[in-house]
Amino acid sequence: MDDANFSRRPVPASARRNTLALSAVMLGLTFFSASMWAGGTLGAGLSFDEFFQAVVAGNIILGIYTAALGYIGARTGLSTHLLAHYSFGVKGSWLPSLLLGGTQVGWFGVGVAMFAIPVAKATGWDTHLLIAISGVLMTLTVYFGIAGLTALSVVAVPAIALLGSYSVWLAVEQAGGLDALRAGVASDPMPLEAAIALVVGSFISAGTLTADFVRFGRSAMMAVVVCLVAFFAGNSLMFIFGAAGAAATGQADISDVMMMQGLIWPAVVVLGLNIWTTNDNALYASGLGFANITGLSSRVLAVFNGLAGTLAALWLYHHFVGWLSFLSAAIPPIGGVIIADYLVNRGRYRHYPATDVVALNPAAIAAVAVGLACGRWLPGIVPVNAVLGALLSYPLLTRLRR
């Protein structure tokens, strides 16, 4: 049975990777032009100081959340979906696998459209044809698993950092200096809490799947450092790149910003690589999720998911901000339950599979429902309320069930 991606077993010591390789993969994940787009939205809705407050607060939350999940993944060598066996049960884990895998297919579709649409604007080529070609090409490379993700990321990460920095420099020049950019007034005001939720929502789905990537780390503490750097530094840079361009040009869409700055062709190449790495991460994670449900090869499922995401690409692209709002409420409780179960029952995770794993754990399902309710109705930051609601209620619900 093909299991080269270790979708049904822990990653052995012989397959573990060094810090540099792991950092390249995680930065390739977080260096995503969709975060630039979200940064453009924040730039139009917040003052200069509020923008940095939202980005710093949101990415600190993401960093802590992903570091906790990364620690568990590297410590056990298990994917998110195998970790869910302990907390949700073997069949109960199908719920988080379906939700997380499905959202990653959605992110793949957004990425395909974000590459194809600016190329169509620059060349006049048919958008649907470009979506089809780019979707198929991005789908093919995921077949090589974590090795392919590492190779792509080593090229894409420094390239997007250079292009984004140059775009920011042009934006500052166009605005008349940093002070002029800072003095700009928000054209579409946004509450600070909603802005922080948008930052967290930008990567809460991929963040919940952190274990899928850092389980290849050689030490748990190394995985924690990699997660903090990738989600705090990497994702923050993407928001800054997007916001600076939006403030100078009045456009939230990063492709429109790059076109107005005369950077469309460098952007086609560099953003194409950037989107490619994140999309392959998304497909890789979705394949692991659906492999947990079906028992089929994660590689084959990743290819199928890529084709499905390509077909839905335009719809997902035009509903991007609404997609983030959904993710900020629906995904965090899953991570909260996984973290809570590991804290309470750490000894069970020394062996896979554990002898006392059940088919379905109602307490985990109920904790997710509590997390959703906390995110929906409690005041504050939606994703934070959702994580804490699930994390704190899970031990209580487990004790009640017993």
d(CA 63, CA 65): 6
Whether residue 324 has pLDDT greater than 80: no
Q: What percent of the chain clears pLDDT 70, i.e. is strictly above it? A: 88
- Looking at 4.10.780.10, 3.40.50.720, 1.20.1440.120, 1.10.4160.10, the CATH number of the domain 16-318 comes to 1.10.4160.10
Distance set, CA 285 to CA 27, 105, 156, 207, 342 (Å): 16, 9, 19, 11, 21
Q: Give the pLDDT mean for 278-291.
A: 88
Q: Can you count the helices (H) and strands (E) in the chain?
A: 20, 0
Burial of 129 (0-12, 13-18, 19+ CB in 10 A): exposed
Q: Give the pLDDT mean for 304-327.
A: 81
Whether 209 and 285 have beta carbons less than 8 Å apart is answered as yes
More confident residue, 278 or 293: 293
DSSP annotation of 234: I
Question: Taking all residues of the chain, what is their mean pLDDT, rounded to a whole number?
Answer: 84
Whether 86 and 349 have beta carbons less than 8 Å apart is answered as yes
Across-strand partners of 217? 17
Encoding tokens for residue 23? 């950092």
Q: pLDDT, tens digit, for every residue of 90-135? A: 999 999 999 888 888 888 898 899 889 878 887 889 999 999 999 9
Whether 205 and 104 have beta carbons less than 8 Å apart is answered as yes
To the nearest 10 degrees (0 to 180), the angle between helices 80-88 and 332-344 is 70
**Per-residue three-class SS string for 296-335:** CCHHHHHHHHHHHHHHCHHHHHCCHHHHHHHHHHHCHHHH
Q: Give the pLDDT mean for 339-356.
A: 88
Residue 112: per-residue pLDDT? 92
Whether 70 and 203 have beta carbons less than 8 Å apart is answered as no
d(CA 281, CA 238): 17
DSSP annotation of 354: -
Highest mean pLDDT among 36-40, 156-160, 249-253: 36-40
Q: What percent of the chain clears pLDDT 90, i.e. is strictly above it? A: 33
H helical segments located in 11-126: 19-30, 33-45, 48-76, 80-88, 94-123
DSSP annotation of 144: G
Domain locations in the chain as residue ranges = 16-318
Whether residue 1 has pLDDT greater than 50: no
pLDDT band at 185 (very low <50, low <70, confident <90, very high): low
Q: Give the pLDDT mean for 337-351.
A: 93
Residue 147: how many other CB atoms lie within 10 Å? 11
More confident residue, 97 or 27: 97
Residue 128: per-residue pLDDT? 94
Q: Cis ω on the peptide bond leading into residue 379 (within 30° of 0)?
A: no
C-alpha neighbours within 13 Å on the C-beta side of residue 151: 7
Lowest-confidence region among 37-51, 296-310, 314-328 = 314-328
Whether residue 88 has pLDDT greater than 70: yes
DSSP annotation of 262: T
Residue 309: per-residue pLDDT? 92
d(CA 369, CA 111): 30
d(CA 214, CA 16): 9
Q: Give the pLDDT mean for 252-270.
A: 72
> b/e string for 92-102 if b means 16 or more Cβ within 10 A?
bbbbbbebbbe
Using the structure block, give the residue that is written with the tokens 């002898």. 355
Residue 370: per-residue pLDDT? 96
H helical segments located in 176-263: 178-182, 192-208, 211-214, 220-228, 235-249, 254-260
pLDDT band at 187 (very low <50, low <70, confident <90, very high): low
Q: pLDDT, tens digit, for every residue of 139-149? A: 887 766 556 66
- The Cα diameter of the chain in Å comes to 66
Q: Give the pLDDT mean for 270-279.
A: 79
d(CA 78, CA 92): 17
